Amino acid sequence: MVEERKRVPRGRLGGIARLLLVVAALGVLVSLGTWQMQRLQWKEGLLTAIAERRTAPPVSLKEIETMAAAGDDIDYRTVRVSGVYDHGKERHFFATHEGRTGYYVFTPLILDDGRALFVNRGFVPFEKKDASTRPEGQVAGTVTVNGLARPRLLEKPSSLVPDNDIAKNIFYWKDLDAMADAAGIATERIVPFFVDADASGNPGGLPTGGVTQFDLPNNHLQYALTWYGLAAALVAVSGVYLYRRRRQPTRENSAPHV
């Protein structure tokens, strides 16, 4: 007579499946929390580096170019550069500043070697977009600009960002090549990054400099605590479930005896 194979009760199979599911979910939650803690360390290091760069003595444009060519991060590094503004070729980037809608004015600064560096001179309100409404701020002759180096964007940051309106001279993302092309400046003459001018006053008060934003979000600790909290809740709920299952009488014990 062939011996019958022992079968694992369905209830036990279901219990094993639930256990594996809980273990897998717990592993995912803990991994996400740990990943957010790693992101927290990275973000805190970045913020510290930015703070140090912002307060460092300004360096020459050549030093920034050397760092950029070497692949170093030039973002928010202080720089000092001299040249002559070509006001007739300024480009306008849609922006808000202190609750007002308007534009950042990006003007090519022509250097001694003939190259052009686009400088974000600062903010002008919507009604001051036309340079003829702020003639005092169109400074002539050689100027020295102190500011922060800002890297170029190679592509639109998001599909939600509108396309640049070249015809109306309104930019929604900082496309350096498009700015240069619209201004009639050859690509090979362009310094491959921007400079945000500091808050030094301009004649007539416009553009308002010093508009660089530093409010980088840092919510990684909150996210980490959320994931770890969910993991702890999963452990607690699973523990209560197992405790109640063990206290629940089995069908065999609870069935009436004949």
What sign has the CA pseudo-torsion 124, 129, 130, 133?
A: negative
Torsion of CA 146, 152, 157, 161, to 10 degrees: 70
Cβ proximity of 119 and 197 under 8 Å? yes
Least confident of 15-24, 118-127, 128-137: 15-24
Q: How many domains does the chain have?
A: 1
Range of the domain at 128: 55-205
| 20 belongs to a structural domain | no
| 14 belongs to a structural domain | no
| 69 belongs to a structural domain | yes
pTM metric for this prediction? 0.74
Work out the pLDDT band at 246, boundaries 50, 70, 90.
confident
| 97 belongs to a structural domain | yes
Q: In angstroms, rounded to a whole number, what is the distance separating the alpha carbons of residues 9 and 187?
A: 74
| 22 belongs to a structural domain | no
Q: What is the pLDDT of residues 209-244, one digit of tens each?
A: 999 987 677 788 888 889 889 989 988 888 887 778
Give how far Cα 19 sits from Cα of 22, 28, 35, 106, 148, Å. Answer: 5, 14, 24, 60, 55
| 142 belongs to a structural domain | yes
| pLDDT mean across residues, the chain | 88
Write the CATH number for 68. 2.40.50
| 166 belongs to a structural domain | yes
Q: Summarize the confidence of residues 77-102 as an average pLDDT.
A: 96
Give how far Cα 37 sits from Cα of 30, 46, 63, 186, Å. Answer: 11, 14, 35, 45
Q: In angstroms, rounded to a whole number, what is the distance separating the alpha carbons of residues 257 and 92?
A: 89
| 221 belongs to a structural domain | no
